[in-house]
């Protein structure tokens, strides 16, 4: 009997519920739906979301590994640059030039001094005539092919650290073998994230890369052009 009374009381309370409360509840739901529609869509990030750290697990677990703090760099620190540069160049040129002139002139009359003053000259052997033909053809053809490859490793020094974390690096090396002397210089800017765990960075990941290789010795003197070919190339005779 008590259960029947309880059900009756609950039904009575629901029947006499205030209409204003129902209206207020529906209006709040409508406002929430409108706000959700007007909210700009959230674009998913390309990076993996950060996972929440579990302090107890990291403290007491045998398999947990604490994340290493990011490595910091200061001016004067050293790192290794792995230089891998390859360049291949091919060029073909074919030029043909043709020039032709034809000049024809004939003298009809000429002044002559006579006893009475100035008169016309008589051409006893015919009128003077100039007939000139010029025909010039030039054909130039050139073929150039070159391939350079540089693979080396050298230590570089950090000379500056930018406010945004970029590292300005500079590396120099000198190698002497018998009569051959080689000097190489590498400069540029890289991100600290590109420096690997073994403290190396690839030359392809360096911005504003500048590589200067200076070779001196018998081999370089053999392949060097003399001043006469340089002078002829500068004059560029046709």
Summarize pLDDT for 114-124 with one digit per residue, the tens.
676 676 677 77
Q: Which of the two residues, 121 and 195, has the higher pLDDT score?
A: 195
Q: How confident is the model at residue 221 (pLDDT cuts 50, 70, 90)?
A: low
- Please name which of 40, 236, 35 lies closest in space to residue 142, comparing C-alpha atoms: 236
Going from the C-alpha of 133 to that of each of 107, 127, 129, 130, 138, the distances in angstroms are: 18, 20, 13, 10, 17
Predicted pLDDT of residue 53 = 64
pLDDT band at 21 (very low <50, low <70, confident <90, very high): very low
Q: Write out the two tokens for 80.
A: 């290794």
Q: Which of 79, 234, 41 is nearest to 170 (CA)?
A: 79
Say if residue 60 is exposed, middle or buried (CB neighbours under 10 Å; 0-12, 13-18, 19+): exposed
pTM, two decimals, is 0.50
Domain boundaries, the chain: 71-238
């Amino acid at each position: 009997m008590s259960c029947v009374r309880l059900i009756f009381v609950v039904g009575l309370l629901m029947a006499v519920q205030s209409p204003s409360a129902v209206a207020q509840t529906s209006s709040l739901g409508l406002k929430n739906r409108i706000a959700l529609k007007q909210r700009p869509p959230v674009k998913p990030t390309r990076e993996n979301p950060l996972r929440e750290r579990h302090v107890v697990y990291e403290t007491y677990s045998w398999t947990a590994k604490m994340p290493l703090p990011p490595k910091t760099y200061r001016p004067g620190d050293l790192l290794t640059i792995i230089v891998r540069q390859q360049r291949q160049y091919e060029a073909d040129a074919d030029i043909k030039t043709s020039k032709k002139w034809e000049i024809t002139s004939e003298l009809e009359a000429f002044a002559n001094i006579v006893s009475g003053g100035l008169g016309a000259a008589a051409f006893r052997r015919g009128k003077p005539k100039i007939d000139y033909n010029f025909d010039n053809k030039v054909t130039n053809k050139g073929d150039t092919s070159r391939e350079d490859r540089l693979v080396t490793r050298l230590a570089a020094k950090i000379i500056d650290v930018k406010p945004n974390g970029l590292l300005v690096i500079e590396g120099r090396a000198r190698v002497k073998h018998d009569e051959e002397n080689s000097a190489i210089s590498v400069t540029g800017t890289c991100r600290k994230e590109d420096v690997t765990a073994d403290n190396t960075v690839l030359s392809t990941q360096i911005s504003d890369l500048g590589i200067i290789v200076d070779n001196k010795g018998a081999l370089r003197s053999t392949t060097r052009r003399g001043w006469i070919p340089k002078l002829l190339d500068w004059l560029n005779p046709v």
